[in-house]
Structure 1
């Protein structure tokens, strides 16, 4: 999405950066996993197709995508490529033409060693705060496979409520309506988040070293 192509969001455990061509090779390797294909309802792509997909995600007006980086690793290795700090991605889909204030959110923490470390929870909170304050969203939905209990539990802890279950698609839909109390709670949960201009890792390393 063009609106976030120069935006990075800094949290405590994760950093969210736009999905760029630098991230494609690692992302492509992840998506060879049959488990991730099943969990994300995705088809395997060639590397060339993945580059095309990355470009379309960057240009689409109805999809906001960030790559999730391990903040500790990112800060400890200032000269390392972002590809080495990647742990997953988080997305907002703005596809309901009848309701532009509704965003479907999904998060993927790709490798099992990076799961259950709070990366997904913070990424979702930061993405919702960004969607609320920048994109004008006040409703969020998550569609999750029925067998993905950890993800379902995570969203329920973030105040989502299950609204439907589809046996045909083998998925449940959870929803969060952002009332004023929910808005204040979400802002409190993300009060540490910083938004900065994104120009790539090489630029950031140069700025950090010159301080």
Structure 2
């Protein structure tokens, strides 16, 4: 999506940035992992195919993608952005007849960052962005039945199980956005800041880490 091509979302632990060309080599290395291929139901791509995918995701009107960065590392001027990459978070507008329905997907690719609250924080940040910028009213998450960690996380975020597909071995969880959901999200991401990506990258050393 073009809408977030110059958007940076700053949270407590994580920073979300647009998926750019310079992120592709690290992303490509991640997706060589059989574990991540299984968790994301993805097929391995060549490096060129990964670059093509990055371009199409930037252009497509039904996909909104952010790369997750470790905020603490990213704020160090000497550290390159690619070295701070933790995973990615996506919104897919899967129903052309209902643009308010969105599938939400989060991947913490770096295993050392799992179980530290990154997944829950970036999911809340992405939901807030989806509601306010994309007009999302219902979120879905489709998760492999063996990925109990993700299923548990989404249930803690008040998602409810709506169906199980034994053929694809996945469960679909759903959350309708009402006023109480919106209020709770705003409270949970009260410290989230939306910034100009290019401008912030040029003076990120001025950020005060909390």
Report the TM-score when normalising by structure 1. Answer: 0.95
Partner residue, 2:85: 86
The unaligned stretches of length 5 or more in structure 2 are: none
Partner residue, 1:30: 30
Separation in 1, partners of 2:151, 2:203: 36
Partner residue, 2:173: 174
Q: Deviations over 1:22-66 (max 9, x none)?
A: 111110000000000111011111111111111111111000000
The unaligned stretches of length 5 or more in structure 1 are: none
Q: How does 1:92-111 map to 2 (within 5 A)?
A: 92-111=91-110
CA 134–202 in structure 1, closer or farther in 2 if over 3 Å, else same = closer
Instruction: Give 1:16 shift.
Output: 0.2
Q: How does 1:39-78 map to 2 (within 5 A)?
A: 39-75=39-75, 77-78=76-77
Separation in 2, partners of 1:192, 1:17: 17
Partner residue, 2:161: 162
Separation in 1, partners of 2:200, 2:32: 26
Counterpart of 2:203 in 1: which secondary structure? helix
Partner residue, 1:128: 127
Instruction: Give 1:112 shift.
Output: 1.5
8 Å CA contact 1:92, 1:104 repeated in 2: yes
8 Å CA contact 2:88, 2:107 repeated in 1: yes
Instruction: Give 1:98 shift.
Output: 2.1
Report the TM-score when normalising by structure 2. Answer: 0.95
Counterpart of 2:198 in 1: which secondary structure? coil
Separation in 2, partners of 1:35, 1:100: 32
Partner residue, 1:184: 183
| RMSD of aligned Cα (Å) | 1.4
